[in-house]
Amino acid sequence: MKRILFVIIFLTSISLGDLYAQYDFSLYDLGNFTPQANGLNPSFFPEKRFYIGFPAVSSVNLSMTNGFSFNQFFRKNDQGEFVIDLNYLADNLAENNYLRNSIELEVFSFGYQVKKNFFNIGLKARFQNDFDMPDGIINEILDGNGNIGLVEFEGLSQHGFQPDDGKSDLREIGSESLQINSITFAEVGLGYGRKVNDRLTLGVKVKFLKGMVNVESNNLQGALATNLSESRLSISTDAGAELKTTGVMALINDDNSNYSNFFDYAIKNKNYGFAFDFGASYQVNDYLHVSGSIIDLGFIHWKDDVENHQVNQINYTLDGNEFSDILSFEGGEDKIEDRLEDELDVLDSTFRVKAIDRSYRSTLASKMYLNGTFTLERHSVGLTFAGTYNQNDFNPGFSLLYFYQINELLKAGGTVGYVNEGIHNVGIAVALNLGPVQLYTTTDNLFGIVNVNNAKSANVHFGINLLFGKDPNKEDDE
């Protein structure tokens, strides 16, 4: 069972990789009004004596980015029921159909100001999954008719695949697409900020990380090809391809795991790491404020419940029409299961998997933010730039902002962002203080919430805080 699970993950990871970024522009632009903005820039802290994040709901951050929408995958039949339409999906796929989803939950947070100094602590659970699905591979699986031709990852000629009389469609996919990165970890952050003077504020945060589950690939070099005359799907890879996993054995309760169950593993494992956040804010004059930060500079060292899967050179052929028959659901459920089981047995015997328990290190996806905001009385306008660096890939984005603030009661506004090569992210943010209770919610993709069926991306960030006392620096001024 474990080998079959690895085969499925490995085949999927051949077509996985590109990271498409999602940023918390709206939350960043709330600045000192909301404690959670400190997670994006440690020089931001609320203008109160202290705060407590409401346990388990102080910060709930959900994000999803797809290359296709619900309505591209499901269609309504004559009876008005939603059914899977694979052909319609194939016709509407982009060249790279990415999928990114992340969940971040703040279990506990607390912050306190002492004169010009600010201290805070927080506990978070974080999950992130990134991969990319090129349309050629998906169409090949759906059609099985040889129309896709050749899909080259790297060094296709080394595998003996050549265009057939010019009929094959050769398409290259950069080596950066041959990646999969799924990570789950716990984070304890200790932050410190200081108002150096009336204009400059600096902040730093050190994060202690404990890894739970990780799956990532290395050196995936191979090729998918079809024979136009015989309608076959062929898979070939170089030797040395590797899929690193941690926590998977405990998760599926494998006998090779040193832990009795996943809860036991989560408590006792020693997959530790560190990360740092740095931030600065500067009040240029009475109207202009600038800030910047770099966050999640760090790594996790995976050494408990580790299993690295190395694959020798592979040559595998699957009849495309046979696969199409399986996906057509013909012959009933039992027959489909028999076909899939037979094919998995073939894959299991073809993939020569060598499992070793060598430890490894993975880096976090680091982010940077730069902002300039012009404020006149209650109105603020500005520009925020952001970038994500991961696996030697840098993805930039920016947003225009407008915010309106009523003293300490309310701050609300909107953003228009350029991310993933498109101006399609319209966001809103609202933070409301009702006595000591603060309610806030932000999204950087409003359309993804109000039009779910056609949305290709959506995110929402919300929470509840308790804020107490006055800003000690303002008390000193009084």
- Determine the pLDDT at residue 60: 94
- Determine the pLDDT at residue 317: 65
Mean pLDDT is lowest, of 6-15, 69-78, 347-356, 461-470, for 6-15
Show Cβ contacts of residue 1 under 8 Å, excluding neighbours closer than 6 positions.
252
Q: Do the bridges between strand 410-419 and strand 393-406 make them parallel or antiparallel, or are there none, so unpaired?
A: antiparallel
- Determine the pLDDT at residue 410: 95
What's the predicted TM-score (pTM) here?
A: 0.77
Mean pLDDT of the chain: 77
Q: Where are the domains of the chain?
A: 2-477
* 21, two tokens: 């970024």
Evaluate if residue 404 carries a pLDDT over 90: yes
Q: How far is CA 339 from the centre of its chain?
A: 34
Q: Dihedral (C-alpha) 381, 33, 459, 80: value to the nearest 10 degrees?
A: -90
**CA distance from start to end of the chain:** 70
pLDDT for 299-339, tens place per residue?
Answer: 999 999 888 877 666 666 665 555 555 555 555 566 666 76
* 101, two tokens: 């989803």
Mean pLDDT is lowest, of 364-368, 426-430, 470-474, for 470-474
Evaluate if residue 426 carries a pLDDT over 50: yes
Question: What is the mean predicted confidence (pLDDT) over 211-238?
Answer: 62
Q: Do the bridges between strand 150-152 and strand 170-172 make them parallel or antiparallel, or are there none, so unpaired?
A: parallel
Evaluate if residue 409 carries a pLDDT over 50: yes
Mean pLDDT is lowest, of 105-109, 259-263, 321-325, for 321-325
pLDDT for 171-192, tens place per residue?
Answer: 333 333 456 778 999 999 999 9
Question: What is the mean predicted confidence (pLDDT) over 399-405?
Answer: 94
Question: What is the mean predicted confidence (pLDDT) over 462-470?
Answer: 93
Of the two residues 243 and 83, the one the predictor is more confident about is 243
Of the two residues 180 and 29, the one the predictor is more confident about is 29
- Determine the pLDDT at residue 381: 96
- Determine the pLDDT at residue 124: 95
pLDDT for 360-384, tens place per residue?
Answer: 999 998 999 999 999 998 999 999 9
- Determine the pLDDT at residue 145: 41
